[in-house]
Amino acid sequence: MAAKIRDVRHGTGVQGQVSQSRWLRRTGAARLEFGADYNPEQWPREVWDDDARAMRTAGVTIVTLGVFSWALLEPAEGEYDFGWLDDAMDLMHVNGIAVDLATATASPPPWLTTKHPEILPVTADGVTLWPGGRQQWRPTSAVFRTHALRLTRAMAERYGGHPALVAWHVSNELGCHNIYDYSDDAAAAFRLWLRERYATLDALNAAWATAFWSQHLSAWEQVLPPRTAASFPNPTQQLDFKRFSSDALKDHLRAERAVLREVTPDVPVTTNFMVMGETKGMNYADWAAEVDFVSNDHYVQPGPQGRDELSFSANLTGGLAGGRPWFLMEHSTSAVNWQPVNVAKRPGELARDSMTHVAYGADAVCYFQWRQSAAGAEKYHSGMIPHAGEDSTLFRAVADLGKRLGDLAPLAGTPRTPARAAILFDWESWWAAEADSHPTDRLRYRQEALDWYTAFLDLGVRADVLPVAAPLDGYDLVVAPILHVVPASLASRLTAFVQAGGHLVATYFSGVVDENDHVWLGGYPGPLRDLLGIRIEEFAPLLDDERVTLDNGSTGTLWTDRIDVSTEDVEVLARYTTGDQAGRPAVTWNPTAGGAAGYVSTRLGPQGLATVLGEFLSRAGIESELPPDQRGKVELAIRGDFHFLINRTDEPIDLGGYLLAADGVVVVRE
Ligand code: GAL
């Protein structure tokens, strides 16, 4: 890479043409936003002026206000107390800080849950989730909806013209605690949703395969959410309930958005997604089109793949945003409060984490929260100002980052530069593959996808993480880990991709069921059989302590398949040498007209995957864009002219004259 390295941490910034990010249109500024959730209501008024001053010191450009303010904004039904929020909004404005204003509907106030306990969610076991925490509302409650929309309207009317307002923030992390509600409201709404999907009871009976276990439904009233049952609830009922639950919250988002667009048509609307870890209830691929710009919250999970998981999530968020810039609404400066052990970030990690999000398209870097709470359940969650105050290593690191992001203003609005390889991510396969009554309950969809991502990083090759419906043109290699649910239309799309010269790789338990979770018959993997040139008669999952070896030196766990290759053209890239499948194919490659399709039948983990991926990449003609000595150690992400080099190791790396610190990220402008 012929590049002059510029250390933007100390540089004067770079100049260039940028397009303006959508949420900035009211401020007219082209910059990377920097800020946090700001909860002034937790502090005496005199602290607020100090907050504003310290925000300016830190380079804060935007705050989110009002996320959990309902009880203070509407202390009694229909009676509003906006005075304090007016004051906070004005204070931000006079200090040049923009506001992403929450609709404040995330957590209903005690008066509402006391008057209307019928809005409280109910678990699959019939347990009511009581007030005292947060987000205690049923997505399908008409009563809740009425109250939430009334507040949304009041907020829009009050603040729509405020000069600090740049975006609306609908509710907060929709579905964080209330994604699955099994109440009677949910049952009624589920029936309506099913009527829309299937139209007739016959069609529903067919889709749910109710001939099984005496489940035939003879009236719509008999349909229920999959409440805790005597045995495994119907699998398609479970899958449809997941779809319905995601849609129910999406419907809430749309309902608040409709009010906001009616009252303030010029103010963009977002809601913060949770593309992170095992949060899987909301199908964000389906939600992304509902917001004016995609926002995400991300918290690092400790562990060997913690950094890669952050990168994966940021990359997928970029994929949801269609490659355009997006808004990092929350992450943490240091420890959180909700993991079993809440690890503090090491020096350098704060900036490294934030900059990795920027590398994958974030045009805003915001934290939860501005000032660490002194009381409440989140008092041990870090903030931009820690308990120790401004005279702290953490606050200095925050202010350094603010300066660095200021220098990177010319980056704002630059979309990511597509890679030549991609990993497909599919919420429905995630849901269906991890359902009960399967060959193994040990399978982890997202972990398999993450392992592939780590393998790409280990080889120094960029890969975009894309929702499964994304266009695949331009990609030379597409990996589809555990693509379990393959409707006929998806099979055709993948086949067309290969016929057009693309290289597709699928893994174990892919192509097994259709959209109704019905098995494709005639041998696995159903509609991908011809494309892959293999036929599997039986799955052969492994026990926890079982390992199998492959003749390429790797070790498989979790799963094996009994594979027969269908034609002589199919190359066996690796065979099992131990276990019940010894001598049979483990990894295959089928060159077909146009491109080729490969299959990996066991869980290889990042290291084993790097071996087979290296082979797939060379067959697809893809090489690392990094010099050989940096591959695996340095992570590369590209946004137009801006190349981000991220140190994946705990040691400094010599980039040829420039020493990239451990935890360091450098931005190079080509
Ligand atoms: C998010 C939430 C924030 C805060 C944060 C703590 O789930 O939106 O309000 O609770 O987690 O990590």
pLDDT of residue 347: 87
* DSSP alpha helix (H) spans, 470-542: 488-499, 529-532
CATH of 4-103+141-181+252-411, one of 3.40.50.970, 3.30.2320.50, 3.30.2320.20, 3.20.20.80: 3.20.20.80
Instruction: Determine the distance separating the centroid of ligand 1 and the alpha carbon of 465, expressed in angstroms.
Output: 25
> Which ligand 1 atom sits closest to the C-alpha of 299?
12
CA of 247 to the centre of ligand 1 (A): 22
224 lines ligand 1 (CB under 6 A): no
- State in Å: Cα 298 to ligand 1 middle: 9
Token readout for 508 is 């174990």
At 22, list the tokens.
């959508």
Q: Which pLDDT belongs to residue 593?
A: 79
Amino acid at 425: F
DSSP state of 122: B
Structure tokens at 593: 């007209």
Dist CA 66 CA 15 (whole Å): 36
Within 209-288, residue ranges assigned H as helices are 235-263, 284-287
Catalytic residues: 173, 330
Sheet holding 596-600, edge to edge: 463-467, 421-425, 477-480, 503-507, 596-600, 585-591, 571-575
pLDDT for residue 18: 29
C-alpha separations of 185 from 172, 182, 190 in Å: 22, 8, 8
What per-residue confidence (pLDDT) applies to 370? Answer: 98
Cα distance between residue 269 and residue 262, in whole Å: 12
Q: Whose CA is nearest to atom 2 of ligand 1?
A: 173
Tokens of 418: 């597509």
Q: What pLDDT, on the 0 to 100 scale, is given for residue 6?
A: 34
CATH 3.40.50.880 in the chain: give the residue spans.
421-620
For residue 524, what pLDDT is reported? 98
105's tokens = 């509907």
- Residue 360 C-alpha to ligand 1 middle, in angstroms? 22
The ranges of the chain annotated as CATH 3.20.20.80 are: 4-103+141-181+252-411
Residue 172 CB–ligand 1 contact under 6 Å: yes
Determine whether 562 is exposed, middle or buried from the number of CB atoms within 10 Å of its CB (0-12, 13-18, 19+). Answer: middle
Ligand 1 atom closest to the CA of 332, numbered from 1: 12
Segments of the chain scoring below 70 in pLDDT: 1-29
Q: Are 269 and 191 in contact, with CB atoms under 8 Å apart?
A: no
Upstream peptide bond of 525 is cis (omega within 30 degrees of 0)? yes
Residue 536 bridge partners (DSSP):
524, 563
Top CATH class of 421-620 equals alpha beta
Residue 29 confidence (pLDDT): 55
- The whole-angstrom separation of Cα 158 and Cα 652 is 52
pLDDT at 28: 52
**C-alpha triplet 602, 606, 609: angle, nearest 5°:** 50
pLDDT, position 270: 97
In a 3-state reduction of DSSP, which class is residue 288?
Answer: helix
CB 63 within 8 A of CB 55: yes
